[in-house]
Amino acid sequence: MLNIAVLVSGGGTNLQAILDSEARGENPHGRVTLVVASRPGVYALERAAKAGVESAVVRRKDYATAEEFDDALLETLHSRHIDLVVLAGFLSILGHKVIAAYPDRILNVHPSLIPSFCGEGFYGLRVHEAALERGVKVTGATVHFVNEVCDGGAIIAQKAVEVHEDDTPETLQKRVMVEAEWKLLPAAVASVCEKLDV
């Protein structure tokens, strides 16, 4: 059984999807044992508490350098014997040291069909604004491994979502979450855990 850390920066809806999937018995090879937030007071920390999962806050601005932040994050992960890291709306960039410590063991969910609308600067509503500006008829979500290229790691799974003519960035974001992210991410986490738990 793998110990999973979920890294969050906001409300934690993807975290909730993973916890709900786990509660349904859909990931027999892993369990969320730690939630790390990039700032205090975010609702994701309440979700962790309700699920009885330990949490920690590691804020980038509390450290003078990116290297010190990486060291603090790694210490938090290693001290809890974390095997797999899941980025679920975590807005701090992971440095080389963190990525090197967890090769093919860091997953991220991105709210588009990579390689569309991804890379530096594409996060949150910006992704959906760009999709609507471009006039695409289909968007979706991608779960991928994290490497040192922003949104550049190997793709694990993708799910397409239809774009409606009257969509706003907010309505499209919600549909991508409900129809793609909240299904795709827990399934990908379970699949990776099964492969690693040997």
High-pLDDT (> 70) share of the chain, %: 99
pLDDT, tens only, 71-130: 999 999 999 999 999 999 888 889 999 999 999 999 999 999 999 999 888 888 999 999
Over residues 1-6, the mean pLDDT reads 97
Structure confidence by residue, pLDDT tens digits, 141-168: 999 999 988 889 999 999 999 999 999 9
Averaged confidence pLDDT in the chain: 95
pLDDT of amino acid 92: 81
Q: Assess contact for 111 and 181: CB atoms under 8 A.
A: yes
Cα dihedral across residues 152, 129, 168, 162: positive or negative: negative
- Total domain count, the chain: 1
* pTM (two decimals): 0.93
Structure tokens at 113: 């069909």
Mean pLDDT of 129-143: 96
CATH number of residue 94's parent domain? 3.40.50.170
Helix (H) or strand (E) holding 160: strand 155-162
pLDDT of residue 153: 94
Catalytic residue among 110, 128, 144, 164: 110
pLDDT recorded at residue 151: 87
From CA 155, how far away is CA 116, in angstroms rounded? 13
Structural domain containing residue 123: 2-196
Residue 47 scores a pLDDT above 80: yes
Is 81 in the active site? Answer: no
Query: How many degrees, rounded to 5, is the angle at CA 8 between CA 60 and CA 21?
Result: 160
